Structure 1
Amino acid sequence: MASTRILFLFSLMFSFFMASSFASNFQQEFDITWGDGRAQFLNNGELLTLSLDKTSGSGFKSKNQYLFGKIDMQLKLVPGNSAGTVTAYYLSSLGSTHDEIDFEFLGNLSGDPYILHTNVFTQGKGNREQQFYLWFDPTADFHSYSILWNPQHILFSVDGTPIREFKNLESRGIAYPKDQPMRIYSSLWNADDWATRGGLVKTDWSKAPFVASYKNFNSQACIWSSSGSSSCSSSSNNSNNTSWLKEGLDSTGQQRMKRVQSKYMIYNYCSDTKRFSQGLPPECTLT
């Protein structure tokens, strides 16, 4: 049975085979990479916290590399006056021509909204920022932030609501991240030179330590091995569920995304004709 599944999926996607995976224990899935004790596994690995003080921030990365995946993480952001801080949660490969898919949460003064900053890098080229206000208080409770990355689409979602899509337009000469495996990274760090109101509002260190919390990581993903092949694992009860590999937005999903963008998007690189005075990036006119 296992060999049949391997042969079937090989005909669909590279050298994939199926295995079930329940990835809720952070100690099994992630390594703390920096912070000198400021990042902690709690509740037997069910909770992970990052903290930032004047000396240092902290961060972690996934043990696995992925070549395509549907990644879900619940975050509760730094409460109160978080101005100057950035909580970053993203996928990235390495090197000067790296690919990257970003969620970044830019801190705020108490009472002001957080800014959700998104970006997509292909072959080392970014400058594809879209920014949003969130329609809830992201510090009061945990909320889900998801990245779908498959051969056709990159889709950013918040609590199951799509907010941004980046399509594979390689046929039109636009690079798409599909060849470089990426790890999941997250960090909490000080960026008061730019994060809040363009750097006008600095970090108030009397409020430190600043703490962000993580729980309920789940993935349906193609895990990259050192031998240069991928295996697909699913955190769903149905280990044969590979629908995410071809998942995109139907008309209802497109409408939901457009409603969010019309209400909550505060910056779109595809509308910034001043920044791109020589012409907007080509994907802006093709999507």
Structure 2
Amino acid sequence: MAVSIMGAVFGLFVGLVVAGSVSSTKFEELFQPSWAADHHVHEGDVLKLKLDYYSGAGFASKSKYMFGKVTLQIKLVEGDSAGTVTAFYMSSDGPKHNEFDFEFLGNTTGEPYLVQTNVYVNGVGNREQRNSLWFDPTKDFHNYSIRWSPRQVLFLVDDTPIRVHTNLERRGISFPKDQPMGVYSSIWNADDWATQGGRVKTDWSHAPFIASYRGFEISACECPVNVAAAENARRCTDDGSRRYWSDEPTMSVLSVHQSHQLMWVRAKHLIYDYCTDTARFPVTPAECVHHRH
């Protein structure tokens, strides 16, 4: 898939974002280990997280953010990765937290990886979608991005949209736009559900399982911990005297090209969509009724 022109335009607008924004590509400037630091291995500009029988590993951003774009370049676990999950997500704190998830579900050798996305709003998730990919994510690094504006949440793979979650507050549906979020990634054992519904378990004879990272990028509005959430929300959106990229209409809706890309992904690579799971949801979730994608 061709890289959208919108990606270049996005970069221009990020460069114009003013006070309160942060943009960097170095792990140590943006992130720190959140658990199992002894399972982190740095090799030049590549960070490797290791999962073995004793522990997985994870890292977290040093700051929290509201609105912007976060990208990690990830090369997923090679070979038999059944039972493992490599996660990349944004999340706020507390029982009413908001969260945007990428979860890469391992599989047996020769089987395709599945990418599960999920959106939590006010502590409630259950909005899973699963996609296959149009490449082998274990052979090279690929860009995985979350783009968050007051109008939508967009999940992208190599700048190709795979999911959009639109602000439908006008329909009385809550949207995550008032809680600063941290950025996180981890690798862990989830063989009770991750591969074929938990039927295939982790084969520890293949450990350690390695997920590799590089190209850490956060272009977003940084939220000081001593500032109230409401004030951060005001700071990180347009107040009439300055413009943030996330307030630009061209950055908050899909371009025609992106819409076509998303339709292609849904037609060729969508494996599961909670919106059509009538067994779990006899009554169609409200946002599914109104979402165009």
Bin of the TM-score, shorter chain as denominator length: 0.7 to 0.9
> Which of 250, 258, 272 is the aligned partner of 2:255?
250
The answer to whether the 8 Å contact 2:23/2:220 transfers is no
- What's the CA shift string for 1:143-176, capped at 9, x where partnerless? 0001100100100010010110000011111111
Q: Please identify runs of 4+ aligned residues in structure 1 that moved more than 2 A.
A: 16-22, 229-232, 240-246
The answer to whether the 8 Å contact 1:119/1:128 transfers is yes
Q: Distance in 2 between matches of 1:120 and 1:220?
A: 20
The amino acid that maps onto 1:274 is: A
Query: Hey, what does 1:75 align to over in structure 2?
Result: 74
RMSD of aligned alpha carbons: 1.7
The equivalences for 1:196-207 within 5 A come to 196-207=195-206
The answer to whether the 8 Å contact 2:20/2:221 transfers is no
Say if 2:140 is the partner of 1:141.
yes
TM-score (norm 1): 0.87
Say if 2:168 is the partner of 1:169.
yes
Q: Distance in 1 between matches of 2:80 and 2:243?
A: 42
> Which of 262, 266, 272 is the aligned partner of 2:267?
262
Q: Give 1:21 shift.
A: 4.8
DSSP-derived class of the 1:258 partner: helix
Q: Give 1:217 shift.
A: 1.3
Q: Distance in 2 between matches of 1:104 and 1:245?
A: 28
Q: Structure 1: where are the runs of 5+ without partners? A: 1-15, 233-239
Q: Give 1:119 shift.
A: 0.2
Q: Give 1:256 shift.
A: 1.1
Query: Hey, what does 2:280 align to over in structure 1?
Result: 275
Query: Hey, what does 2:239 align to over in structure 1?
Result: none
The answer to whether the 8 Å contact 1:49/1:211 transfers is yes
Q: Higher helix proportion, which one?
A: 2
Q: Distance in 2 between matches of 1:101 and 1:139?
A: 23
Q: Structure 2: where are the runs of 5+ without partners? A: 1-16, 237-241
The equivalences for 1:54-203 within 5 A come to 54-203=53-202
The answer to whether the 8 Å contact 1:26/1:47 transfers is no
The amino acid that maps onto 1:31 is: Q
The amino acid that maps onto 1:29 is: L
The answer to whether the 8 Å contact 1:26/1:41 transfers is no
Query: Hey, what does 1:237 align to over in structure 2?
Result: none
Query: Hey, what does 2:13 align to over in structure 1?
Result: none
Query: Hey, what does 1:38 align to over in structure 2?
Result: 39
Q: Distance in 1 between matches of 2:285 and 2:162?
A: 20
The answer to whether the 8 Å contact 1:27/1:41 transfers is no
TM-score (norm 2): 0.85
The answer to whether the 8 Å contact 2:22/2:222 transfers is no
Q: Give 1:79 shift.
A: 0.3
- What's the CA shift string for 1:155-200, capped at 9, x where partnerless? 0010010110000011111111111111001110000010000000
